[in-house]
Amino acid sequence: MNVKVKERIKLSLAVAVLAIIIMVVLIIVLQYQVEGETNMPFKLSKITIISTAEGEEKTGEEDINKWDFTINQNNDIYFFIESNGENTKEEDLLESVTIENISITKSPTKGEIKTYMPNSEEGRTFTYNDQYLVQDKLEYTGSKNNNPKTLEIGSKGGSAVIRIANTNIGEYISNEDQEIKHDGSLITKIGLTEQDVNFQVNFDLILTINKIKYKTNITLDLPCENLCTEGTTTKEITDMSNIIFKRIH
């Protein structure tokens, strides 16, 4: 076998090995794009959405009517983070949970969408105060205890909550009703349907674990179904097959 033939064989083998390496890398990259991180120390185990509506008393106006409210439709979204079985070690810490890049991908016919963080005062978890509006992002910091009012989440797992409200969907004024329920039935009382207040929101959820950031993108249709008839509705999302976390820098 002459030298030229040997060189051609070597070149062919090198090309074949390179092609196999490239193919393996492409398969790994493609698998990562589809599956994302599969062995994170902590995981998003559940998303719970609680939808309702309530009347907010008007301020600065003379009280001439028995009932005189601005109606808001609220959606409280809870994210539950827990250890990921055998992938979680004793030294693993959940350092923060961040919700950012919030955008309304489908607007409601009525109302204005506003996003609120929990308030730090005693009493209700959420208030319609502009100082608690979420601007760019909402971040919960890992701590010993879970406390939404101080924006803390357990460093070994816990829950974070955010309110996405459809505000000022209408006004309810009445002198006839003896009592009213502050729930989804108010939507019907002001002549609206669920279709009038339905909207879609999209955002990024970032978990920082052991200095490493993992990000996923989530889209939710709000509010939960049958709000007008049931008053308060709850939806629990436990199938996370479509929620893919990937590392970011």
SS3 221: strand
Q: DSSP label at 147?
A: B
Domain ranges of the chain: 1-35, 40-248
Place of tokens 């309110």: 163
Sheet holding 158-174, edge to edge: 112-116, 158-174, 67-83, 42-57, 233-237
Q: Token pair of 162, please?
A: 């955010």
CA distance 64 to 123: 28
Q: Token pair of 248, please?
A: 């970011």
Helix (H) or strand (E) holding 186: helix 185-189
SS3 118: coil
Nearest Cα to Cα of residue 185 among 67, 49, 54: 54
Question: For residue range 176-227, what is the model confidence (pLDDT) as tens digits?
Answer: 766 778 899 999 999 999 999 999 999 999 999 999 999 999 999 999 999 9
The contacts of residue 198 (CB under 8 Å, 6+ apart) are: 106, 108, 221, 222, 223
Q: For residue 59, what pLDDT is reported? A: 67
The contacts of residue 18 (CB under 8 Å, 6+ apart) are: none
Question: For residue range 6-49, what is the model confidence (pLDDT) as tens digits?
Answer: 677 777 777 777 777 777 666 555 555 555 577 899 999 999 99
Cα separations (Å) of 182 from 66, 197, 227? 15, 16, 12
CB atoms within 10 A of CB 133: 11
> What pTM did the predictor assign?
0.86
Mean pLDDT (the chain, rounded): 88
CA distance 83 to 237: 18
